[in-house]
């Protein structure tokens, strides 16, 4: 099945209806992810990538790099 160009509503519904995915993702969360306003948790991104027939390993590497970048920008945690 090709992913095509589903709307945010369609994508959110496809993710929600697939019990094999690790998470559900709301339309508002999808909007924030696709606009670059928010880096999702890995389980959410995994659900998006799998639903869109993407390469999960490739996106895991990208996600890990972005996580590291965000952590470096935040600096050390204060106790």
pLDDT at 75: 80
pLDDT at 74: 84
Does residue 30 lie in a domain region?
yes
Range of the domain at 30: 8-73
Does residue 1 lie in a domain region?
no
- Mean pLDDT over 5-13 rounds to 95
Under 8 Å between Cβ of 47 and 22: yes
Does residue 68 lie in a domain region?
yes
Q: Write the pLDDT tens digit of every residue in 13-71.
A: 999 999 999 999 999 999 999 999 999 999 999 999 999 999 999 999 999 999 999 99
- Both tokens assigned to 69: 């970048």
pLDDT at 26: 97
Does residue 3 lie in a domain region?
no
What's the number of domains the chain is made of? Answer: 1
Closest CA to 26 of 36, 40, 37: 40
Under 8 Å between Cβ of 3 and 55: no
Does residue 69 lie in a domain region?
yes
Does residue 54 lie in a domain region?
yes
pLDDT at 1: 43
Does residue 47 lie in a domain region?
yes
Place of tokens 């999960």: 56
How many CA atoms does the CB half-sphere of 64 hold within 13 Å? 6
């Amino acid at each position: 099945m090709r992913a095509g160009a589903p709307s945010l509503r369609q994508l959110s519904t496809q993710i929600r209806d697939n019990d094999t995915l690790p998470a559900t993702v709301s339309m508002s969360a999808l909007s924030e992810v696709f606009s670059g306003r928010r880096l999702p948790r890995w389980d959410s991104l995994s659900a998006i990538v799998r639903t869109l027939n993407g390469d999960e390993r490739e996106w895991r590497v990208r996600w890990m790099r972005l996580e590291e970048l965000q952590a470096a920008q935040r600096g050390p945690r204060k106790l």
